[in-house]
Amino acid sequence: MSASVDEVLLDVRGLGISFLMGGGAVEATRDVSFAVRPGERVGIVGESGCGKTITGLSLLGLLPAATSRVVGEAMFEGENLVGMPLSRMRHVRGRKISMIFQEPMSALDPVFTVGQQIGETIRTHFKVDKKQARERSIEALANVGIPSPARVHDSYPHQLSGGMRQRAMIAIALACEPRLLVADEPTTALDVTIQAQIIDLLLELSGKNGTALLFITHDLGVIAETCTRMITMYAGQVVEDAPVDTALVRPLHPYTSGLLRSLPRLSARGAVLPSIAGRVPTLRDMPTGCRFAERCGHRQEACEAPQVIETLEEHRVRCWRHGELVLPGALTDREAAA
Amino acid sequence: MKKAIVAVENLRIRFPTQDRRETVKAVDGVSFAVMPGETFGIIGESGSGKSTLGRAVVCLLKPTEGRVLHGGTDPYTLSSRALRLRRRAFQIIFQDPNAALNPRMNMLDSIREPLDIVGEGTRAERDRIAMEMLERVGLRPEFGGRYPHEISGGQKQRINIARVLTVRPSLIVCDEVVAALDVSIRADILNLFADLQREFGLTYLFITHDLGVVSHVSSRIAVMYLGKFMEMGPAEDIAERPLHPYTQALLSAEPIPLPSSMRETRRIILQGEIPSPTNPPSGCRFRTRCPHAQEICATLEPAWREAAPGRFVACHFAGEVTGHPLSETRIKEALA
């Protein structure tokens, strides 16, 4: 993890995803740019439909080829992941970049044992025989804190609890020690005590192997506890990108601030919770100007012009008023004063 | 003293497992009373029995043992006609906003349906009440003509709230009602629940796994684990001075969006998972995951005792074990 700050593992530039629907193309994300450094833990936060999941899927070429179109680039170790031929992508998936999902049951194949599924990944990427693959699979299960790895190795997914399945999926994802793990809501379906175990595990493994994390979630608490940087997406665009502590204490985009303020812990018990009025614009009639303007309490006429993302040292923001607005973050007044 | 709107007395609910060889003890001896106008929160993880308990309170499940009293009467002693009348007063809203809505019915019909079933007034009157409730939950009249696939999750949940309001209930069981909603929408719906409570004098039984939500809306909270209450008391006390090691672990596991310098680094990470409710551990059922478990915990089931006025707990060592209260309290203490 002693990577220099200039070194970039994943460099996403101008990534845009459209879906072909009913004869036309609908633009789902536009001009998404961000970078992940080796070993860095980056969180992407946003509400349903903001484009965070499809951004993750597009990195591994997992969007349906017939009905989607991806533009822009995603440079990973000198190669562009966008438009990468499948034959090449096979060497990247599971080996260099892995992905885990919210619902482990949908990612695990119900007719194969957990061990067969880890073994498959290992044997795809390394020249090992069946016996060696079994040993490495059991080791991978032990590494994710599964109490009796040999037994779980020979179990089918339905025989495991939700927490154990998520561990098994992490074991598969990390079996080949990838450089980047894309985790899409990996703890959302889990109970809070099990979520704490999984977060601990991801932090430990990422630290030990130097695996970078791209953590996609709607849960700001999970981001705070897991990530070093936080990217906020809204309506298919990156609106803010900052070190996590900065984003939590002094967000520069009104949407990030609004998300943080709506958390119950910041309001007195029983008091009215601040909320963000209105709805996300639909993909078919996206405003040409600031996409958040309609719901923003700080809107001015100039917000109707397209907003560019500006870089201020470690902080990037897509709001022309960032210099004049002082927006509250995730602290109570008392905490902020201290 | 006010009379309880719902009193649950030593309630047990058991189901046979699919192969009928074992019995799931979903609710295994729970007693509490909900007072008119309060919000009583029940918090627990999956498999704790909290949803089963909620269903029993509105007579969707019959107690295996014990009683659920509605305003002092046991609904199961009533005639079916009297029971149906009483049912109106005790409503439930579920987590999945889709599940309760018929995809072929427009919103106005869905909202009016409970009134149609009750068979009250003329069709025109029922339509008027349904429109009134649609407006009351913050939706414009044109939503009445829309179908479930045309509206968002938050709007569907508003429709579900409007639906139960038509029959003027006195108590609503809210079972994970905001769990499927995005953060900003969640705040709106919680605000709506609070407004309606003031306006209609509603009582809520708020069932959730979300600590932030439960401690914001509730006046009192019960913590449930494997079919039993572990702890019960005023929301503020439970959130800030938890007595039971399970409550302490739950609070400490909750990820809080605070910068690292302000967050408690020492977390209680519980080992293992919730045991099977077909065969709960002997003695204290939390002992297999409890960081403070002693020999006595395996042999003797801790009594449900009143540790302080209004504060109940089932733990041999409650109050002796050091808790990890919410970090906001820790911050307050640090500032003081």
Q: Which residue has the tokens 């204290």?
A: B284
Nearest to A184 by CA among A83, A55, A64, A335: A55
Q: What is the pLDDT, as a whole number, of residue B330?
A: 40
Q: Which of B268, B264, B262 is nearest to B244 (CA)?
A: B268
Distance from CA of B90 to the nearest CA of A (A): 23
The first and second tokens of residue A219, run together, are 């849960």
**Cβ of residue B324 closer than 8 Å to a chain A Cβ:** no
Convert the pLDDT of each residue in A191-202 to its tens digit.
888 899 899 999
The angle at the Cα of A198, spanning A193 to A204, to the nearest 5 degrees, equals: 130
Question: What's the pLDDT at A334?
Answer: 81
Rounded average pLDDT over A223-248: 96
Q: Above 80 in pLDDT, residue A323?
A: yes
CB A177 within 8 A of CB A150: no
Cβ pair B259:A276 closer than 8 A: no
Residues of B in contact with A270 (CB under 8 A): 194, 216-217
ipTM of model:
0.84
Of B250, B257, B331, the CB nearest to A193: B250
- For the cut 80, the answer to whether the pLDDT of residue B90 exceeds it is yes
Q: How far is A78 from chain B (nearest CA, A)?
A: 34
Output the pLDDT for position A293: 96
Instruction: Please say if the pLDDT value at position B1 is more than 80.
Output: no
Residue A145 confidence (pLDDT): 86
Asked if the Cβ–Cβ distance from B209 to A191 is below 8 Å, we say yes
For the stretch A164-182, pLDDT in tens is: 898 999 999 999 999 999 9
Strands (E), A143-288: 180-184, 212-217, 229-234, 237-243
- Cβ pair A225:B263 closer than 8 A: yes
Q: Tokens representing A25?
A: 């193309």
Share of chain A above pLDDT 90, in %: 73
> For A15-19, A35-39, B18-22, B168-172, which range has the lowest pLDDT when averaged over its residues?
B18-22
Query: Residue B333 pLDDT > 60, yes or no?
Result: no
For residue B24, what pLDDT is reported? 92
Domains in chain B (CATH in brackets) are 6-224 (3.40.50.300), 242-335 (no CATH)
Residue B231: pLDDT above 60?
yes
Mean per-residue pLDDT, B112-135: 93
The more confidently predicted of residues A107 and B108 is B108
Question: B286 pLDDT exceeds 80?
Answer: yes
Question: Which segments of chain B does DSSP mark as H helices, in order?
Answer: 50-57, 80-87, 107-118, 123-136, 153-165, 183-200, 211-217, 235-240, 245-253, 295-299, 327-335
Homologous superfamily assigned to A10-227: P-loop containing nucleotide triphosphate hydrolases (3.40.50.300)
A138 min Cα distance to partner chain B (Å): 19
pLDDT of residue A123: 92
Nearest neighbour of B190 by CB, restricted to A47, A273, A330: A273
- Window 68-97 of B: residues touching A by CB (8 A cutoff) are none
pLDDT for residue A240 is more than 80: yes
Q: What percent of chain B has pLDDT over 70?
A: 94
A158 touches chain B (CB under 8 A): no
Q: Is B32 in contact with B222 (CB distance < 8 Å)?
A: yes
CB burial of residue A4 (10 Å; 0-12, 13-18, 19+): exposed
pLDDT tens column, A102-114: 888 888 999 999 9
Residue A48: pLDDT over 50: yes
Note which residues in 167-196 of chain A have CB less than 8 A from chain B: 191-196
CA distance linking residue A261 with residue A248, whole number of Å: 10
* B253 contact A CB<8A: yes
Residue B82 Cα, gap to closest chain A Cα (Å): 35
pLDDT at B46 over 90: no
Chain A: nearest CA to B336, how far in angstroms? Answer: 11
Mark yes or no for CB contact B183/A47 under 8 Å. Answer: yes
Where is pLDDT greater, at B127 or B181? B127
pLDDT of residue A338: 74
Quick check: B187 and A248 CB within 8 A? no
Could you tell me the residue ranges of all domains in chain A?
A: 10-227, 251-337
The pLDDT of residue B95: 85
Burial class (CB in 10 A: 0-12, 13-18, 19+), B310: exposed
Under 8 Å between Cβ of A218 and A48: yes
Strand order across the B65-70 sheet: B23-34, B6-16, B65-70
Asked whether residue B227 carries a pLDDT value surpassing 80, the answer given is yes
User: Which B residues 97-126 touch A at CB under 8 Å?
Assistant: none
DSSP per position, A190-201: S-HHHHHHHHHH
pLDDT at B118: 86
Question: How much is the pLDDT for B319?
Answer: 74
A246, closest residue in chain B (CA to CA): B259
Which of these ranges, A182-196, B111-125, B257-271, has the smallest mean pLDDT? B257-271
- Rounded mean pLDDT of chain A? 92
Pick from A110, A124, A102, A107: nearest CA to A176 = A124
Nearest to B212 among A224, A248, A263 (CB): A263
Chain A closest CA to B259's CA: distance in Å? 5
pLDDT at A224 over 90: yes
Instruction: Look at residue B84 in the predicted model and tell me its pLDDT.
Output: 83
Tokens of A111: 């007719």
B8 has pLDDT over 90: yes
**Shortest CA gap A153–chain B (Å):** 18
Check pLDDT > 90 for residue A267: no
Q: Which among B38, B139, B216 is the top mutation candidate for probing chain A, defined by the most A β-carbons within 10 Å of its own β-carbon?
A: B216
A-chain residues near B263 (CB < 8 A): 224-225
Does residue A321 have a pLDDT over 70?
A: yes
User: Which two structure tokens, joined as six digits, stand for A197?
Assistant: 């175990």
Residue with tokens 């179109």: A69
B331 pLDDT higher than 50: no
Out of A48, A270, A335, closest to residue B331 by CB: A335
Predicted local distance difference test score (pLDDT) of residue B322: 55
Cα separation, B72 vs B75, in Å, equals 9
* Whether the Cβ atoms of residue B226 and residue B48 lie closer than 8 Å to each other: yes
Chain B residues within 8 A of A200 when measuring between CB atoms: 269
Q: Report the pLDDT averaged over residues B85-90.
A: 88
User: For residue A5, what pLDDT band results from cuts at 50, 70 and 90?
Assistant: low
Which residue in the set B253, B254, B259 is minimally distant from A249, CB to CB? B259
